[in-house]
Amino acid sequence: MHVELKGITKRFPGVVANSDVNITIQSGAVHALVGENGAGKSTLMKILYGVQQPDSGSISIDGLGHQFNSPSEAINAGIGMVFQHFMLADNLTVLENVVLGAEDLYGINDRARKRVLEISSEYGFGLDPDALVADLGVADRQRVEILKVLYRGARLIILDEPTTVLVPQEVDLLFENLRELVALGCSILFVSHKLDEVLAISDEITIMRRGETVATADPTEVTKSQLAELMVGTELPSPKPGEAAAADSSVLTMKHVSLGDATGRSILENVNLTVHKGEIVGIAGVEGNGQSELVEVIMGMRTLTAGTITLGEEEITNLSTRKIRERGVGFIPEDRHRHGVVLDFSLWENRILGHQTRPPAVKGPFLNPAGAREASEKIIKEYDVRTPSVRTAARALSGGNQQKFIVGREMSGTPILLLASHPTRGVDVGAQAGIWEHIRKARREGLAVLLISADLDELIGLSDRLEVFLRGRITAQLDPRNVTAKALGSAMTGGNE
């Protein structure tokens, strides 16, 4: 499928998201799209997938003009999209997830099963149609998402940050699947912030900046540093470790912490963990192995089955989230839309969230809008949040700019402990460097940090100590100064057992 986008322009109140954007995606090729947060990538993907309509410009497929007023029209034209956050029903099988919403294509019984098996075999996915999605690992879930769009006849697949939750070995397998897709005639639009992966998989790269297409590059003729400079105007940052500043005093202590679900299944099992003042402890693990639940029990969002959690000298086991926050715990959640922002609230209103009992969000017993607005202005400046105003709704910002605001809000609360779950997820290379430096600076000043990240280079580069999580247990302790991303990925998937 040969796709051309010409002169695509899209405006929102106070913002030009896309301005005269031009991209050509060749048939049977991987075309990468890169750019800083707010560059207009998400808007462009939504236009191509029919979620939004352009103010001007045209889309043509194999020489024929198209205008998509809905995703179903884009799907009917052969375009499929795999979102960064998977849209699967855990309580259904692979087959049921694939067929859901497309029952009219092959029915829901034998014909559908036969087609799912054909696609899975043809593209080397190796998926069992009767497997429950809840039992699948992250990489297999992603294959189910790709299988869904292929089942619907997609010949161009849009992949939004597809490697965010994958370890290196899983990335290699994904790339094998993508090469198989391309060899069999599919086209891929690969959207990512991971420039080394962009260079490894793409046939052509389009760079966007501030809503415009600024260059098209051949991956064999450009370096990561050159791509970064085209994207953000600066050199490629790397999370090189700074001088450790850990003190003897413990800020967070977890002893024999266990957590079970409603069926009695163990989610966390006998976790013992300590984070000292001025120390960054990295938690490495494939998504779904207990890291999310670990943060939630610390934050009082889940009730322990057994064990104790201590903050400084005070036991906080099963305290409310509000009380835990008031004792100085900052929280950067992994799902910013569920736990980080209210999309329809303005930025200054979002500044109050989680801090509504402390200045500057309050003055005496009353909320302090003026103080919240002033604090929001400071965050916007220090964290380079691209927004027209503190009165702008969070929904109007790109995901990366929402993330920068959340990080700034949690850091500005002067916490003694920061729980940072994927703090740079969806953030461009320039903003990454800024967030890393803010975390390093706070650590030098005594902040204790528990860092959960799917970016293994980030974990290795920022952490003073690494704890590996597998099936709800700590299975290894590693020195980040003496470990590679491949070795860490192997430990995360049980390769060392």
Q: How far apart are CA 223 and CA 238, in angstroms?
A: 15
Q: How far apart are CA 323 and CA 329, in angstroms?
A: 9
Q: How far apart are CA 480 and CA 142, in angstroms?
A: 29
| Residues 6 or more apart whose Cβ sits within 8 Å of residue 145 | 82, 83, 86, 87, 88
pLDDT in tens, the chain (497 residues): 899 999 999 998 778 899 999 999 999 999 999 988 778 998 999 999 999 999 999 999 999 999 999 999 999 999 999 987 778 998 999 999 999 988 888 888 889 999 999 998 888 888 999 999 988 877 888 889 999 999 999 999 999 888 877 777 888 888 988 999 899 889 999 998 888 899 999 999 999 988 999 999 999 999 988 988 888 776 655 666 655 566 679 999 999 999 998 788 899 999 999 999 999 999 998 877 889 899 999 999 999 999 999 999 999 998 999 999 999 999 999 888 889 999 999 999 999 999 999 999 999 889 999 999 999 999 999 999 989 899 999 998 888 899 999 999 999 988 999 999 999 987 877 788 889 999 999 999 999 999 999 888 899 999 999 999 999 999 999 999 999 888 898 888 876 55
pLDDT the model gives residue 454: 83
Cα dist from 473 to 213, 263, 333, 352, whole Å = 46, 19, 21, 35
Which ranges constitute the DSSP H helices of 41-161?
Answer: 41-48, 71-76, 94-99, 103-106, 110-122, 138-151
Upper half-sphere CA count for residue 296 (Cβ side, 13 Å): 16
Instruction: Kindly report the number of other CB atoms within 10 A of residue 370's CB atom.
Output: 11
Q: How far apart are CA 418 and CA 71, in angstroms?
A: 39
* Three-state DSSP class for residue 389: coil
All structural domains of the chain, each given as residue ranges with its CATH number in brackets, are: 3-232 (3.40.50.300), 250-492 (3.40.50.300)
Run of H or E including 473: strand 473-478
Cα 415 off chain centre by: 24
What are the tokens at 284?
A: 């490495």
Burial category of 381 from C-beta neighbours within 10 Å (exposed 0-12, middle 13-18, buried 19 and up): exposed
Q: How far apart are CA 179 and CA 157, in angstroms?
A: 13
Cα dist from 310 to 275, 297, 473, whole Å = 11, 12, 19
Q: How far apart are CA 406 and CA 403, in angstroms?
A: 5
DSSP code for 45: H
Q: How far apart are CA 426 and CA 496, in angstroms?
A: 30
pLDDT the model gives residue 117: 94
Cβ–Cβ under 8 Å, residues 45 and 190 = no
* Three-state DSSP class for residue 259: strand
pLDDT the model gives residue 116: 93
pTM of the model: 0.73
Q: How far apart are CA 198 and CA 416, in angstroms?
A: 38
pLDDT the model gives residue 87: 85
pLDDT the model gives residue 123: 84
Instruction: Kindly report the number of other CB atoms within 10 A of residue 281's CB atom.
Output: 21
β-bridge pairing 266-276 and 79-82: unpaired
Q: How far apart are CA 315 and CA 232, in angstroms?
A: 45
Cα 44 off chain centre by: 19
Cα dist from 163 to 15, 209, 484, whole Å = 29, 22, 18
Helix/strand/coil (H/E/C) assignment for every residue in 475-492? EEEECHHHCCHHHHHHHH
Cβ–Cβ under 8 Å, residues 279 and 417 = no
Q: How far apart are CA 427 and CA 228, in angstroms?
A: 13
- CA neighbor of 400 nearest in space, from 69, 77, 94, 35: 35
Q: How far apart are CA 489 and CA 168, in angstroms?
A: 6
